[in-house]
A and B are shown apart, each in its own frame.
Chain A
Amino acid sequence: MSAELQLGDRLPERSVSLDQAALIRYAGVSGDVNPLHWDQQFAESFSPTGGVIAHGMLSMGLLSALLTDWLGDAGRVRSMSCQFRAACPVGASVTVGGEVTAIGDDDTATLAIWARLDDGSKVIDQRTSRAVVTR
């Protein structure tokens, strides 16, 4: 993307299946080794799904990748904020996307960003999750 961002511009949606291997790879690269993301017995004891769930940060990472590709320069991202809502069970498919919802006076555009499951559950809630980027 080289043209200036406009109100209503949308990120091209991207869907990824987050199987156990994906979670283990993310744990390795990020250093987030919380057993909630790989140990079924541990996860059963308090996970909202009763089982292993994906890292919220992996869904945020998918959005980060989408922004990186779409903007053509990751350095344009000035801030990124995500609220994690629904848990993403291991094996689920997550779709990420976003839309420009505001243009700032200071050469910025604000995007509402989201991640959701096939059943519509909001893993990252677009009402409260934003990226502010250089326009």
Chain B
Amino acid sequence: MPLNQDRVGHRYAAYRFEVGREHVRSYAAVTGVTDERYRNDAPDSVGDGLAVPPAFVACIAGAQAWSRIMSDPQLGAHDRVMHGGQEFTFQSPVRVGDVLICTPTITDLRSLRGLELLTIEVECNRPDGAAVVTSRSRLAFVPEAS
């Protein structure tokens, strides 16, 4: 059952994300940041205003967007999926303590070599509407073998 082409252009409900210092510390540790300002054991680490490692945006835009597309009954997504590509475009840095309002949108769906490639963008803005970062994920859905 292919994904529903009519869902291209669909915007999902926005959600609020607070960039928490413990979350950034954990992310930095798992990905191997050595800068002491991000380290778990430094007493003054990860203060408010510290710019997050760029791919931390995956934590902001990934799981929530994922749960929206996977639970969208009109899209027909399924769990046989791999990540094909990822872009983050910053209008300004994301900083510890930021509050972001994030809106996922399906922007493209196409078939290629037996895969279904879904592109989902998440726009992350300040509560006053100023753009901060856009995440663009390309997901490759693998159909069930027939």
**What distance in Å separates the Cβ of B54 from its nearest Cβ neighbour in chain A?**
4
Chain A residues in 8 Å Cβ range of B66: 31-32
Q: A84-B84, A84-B85 are in contact. Are A32 and B54 (CB under 8 A)?
A: no
Total number of A residues with any Cβ neighbor in B under 8 Å: 45
Chain A residues in 8 Å Cβ range of B33: 65, 68-69
Q: A64-B53, A64-B54, A68-B54 are in contact. Are A29 and B27 (CB under 8 A)?
A: yes
Q: Is the CB of A60 within 8 A of B58?
A: yes
Instruction: Kindly name the residue among B30, B79, B84 whose own CB sees the greatest number of chain A CB atoms within 10 A.
Output: B30
Contact of A58 among B31, B38, B52, B53 (CB under 8 A): B31
**What distance in Å separates the Cβ of B133 from its nearest Cβ neighbour in chain A?**
9
Q: A29-B23, A57-B62 are in contact. Are A65 and B86 (CB under 8 A)?
A: no
Q: How many A-B residue pairs have CB under 8 A?
A: 123
Instruction: Kindly name the residue among B66, B83, B89 whose own CB sees the greatest number of chain A CB atoms within 10 A.
Output: B83
Interface size range on B against A: 35 or more
Q: Please name 13 pairs of A and B residues whose Cβ atoms are closer than 8 Å in the assembled complex, sorted by A.
A: A30-B63, A35-B79, A36-B82, A61-B27, A61-B30, A61-B53, A61-B55, A63-B55, A64-B56, A80-B54, A80-B55, A84-B83, A84-B84
Add 13 more A-B contacts to A29-B23, A80-B55 (CB < 8 A): A16-B32, A22-B30, A33-B63, A45-B80, A61-B58, A68-B35, A68-B54, A74-B51, A74-B93, A78-B89, A79-B88, A81-B85, A84-B85
Task: Tell me the B residues contacting A by CB distance below 8 Å.
Answer: 23, 26-28, 30-35, 38, 50-56, 58-59, 62-64, 66, 79-90, 93, 95, 142
